[in-house]
Amino acid sequence: QSALTQPASVSGSPGQSITISCTGTSSDIGGYNYVSWYQQHPGKAPKLMIYEVSNRPSGVSNRFSGSKSGNTASLTISGLQAEDEADYYCSSYTSSTTVVFGGGTRLTVL
Amino acid sequence: EVQLLESGGGLVQPGGSLRLSCAASGFTFSSYAMNWVRQAPGKGLEWVSAIVGSGGSTYYADSVKGRFTVSRDNSKNTLYLQMNSLRDEDTAVYYCAKGIVVAGRYYYYCMDVWGQGTTVTVSS
């Protein structure tokens, strides 16, 4: 199972919006609404930000939103803040009953 | 408070074995699927394995199938990962992560609580 494809890095200024893409296949993202997004600060454990494509767990800011079209999922962060600077990973359930992660995207807040 | 605490990491030679443990607290452990996810130094996340709440079904990444075994002891609220035939490329921080519940159904594909990780180094 190949990793999902994410851009290595994205950047934005405070207050702006950014979108991180995550591309898979019909065997993972395209086949199921089981896409998740995680935020990881350096040296810390990942934190769940989005589940089932577009749902936010309790306590996650509504500045974070998710969507999916075909084999590509997206995470949008609006009103960028300094604390949003982190690595972001997408993941998906697969037809092989496994879970696959994306390679990760480093978000820099300028 | 929901907590996961991994232990058992360390330095092991190629071909050796190690058993990781994850002690859970703050939730009904036996109801939830659990996962192991690893992260090699400077690299991204890699899903390793999952086990359903009853322990009756297990799932593995191709990279560890046949070498790693996931298990759980619900009486002790503890998750395990037995790692055999270790390779250099197994060097990573290993995280224990709790699966989610949505509308009363328990899933392993998404992880809402993570431990702090335990480091495994495979080297001669």
Q: What is the pLDDT of residue B35?
A: 98
pLDDT band at B39 (very low <50, low <70, confident <90, very high): very high
Average pLDDT over residues A61-83: 97
- Of B14-18, B29-33, B50-54, B102-106, which gets the smallest average pLDDT? B102-106
User: And the tokens for B44?
Assistant: 């991204």
Number of Cβ pairs < 8 A linking chain A and chain B: 65
Cβ of A24 under 8 Å from any chain B Cβ? no
Give the tens place of pLDDT for each residue, A49-62: 999 999 999 999 99
Measured distance CA(B12)–CA(A15) in Å, rounded: 47
CB-CB under 8 Å, A36 with B109: yes
3-class SS of residue A42: coil
Distance CA A81, CA A89 (A): 18
Residue A2 has pLDDT above 90, yes or no: no
Query: From the CB of residue B15, how many other CB atoms can be counted at a distance below 10 Å?
Result: 11
Residues A10, A16: contact at Cβ < 8 Å? no
Question: Are B112 and A48 spatial neighbours (Cβ–Cβ below 8 Å)?
Answer: yes
Residue A14 contacts B, CB cutoff 8 Å: no
- Computed over every residue of chain A, the mean pLDDT equals 97
Give me the mean pLDDT over the B5-18 stretch: 97
Please tell me which of the candidates B97, B110, B115 has its beta carbon nearest to residue A51: B110
What pLDDT sits at residue B25? 97
Which pLDDT score is estimated for A36? Answer: 98
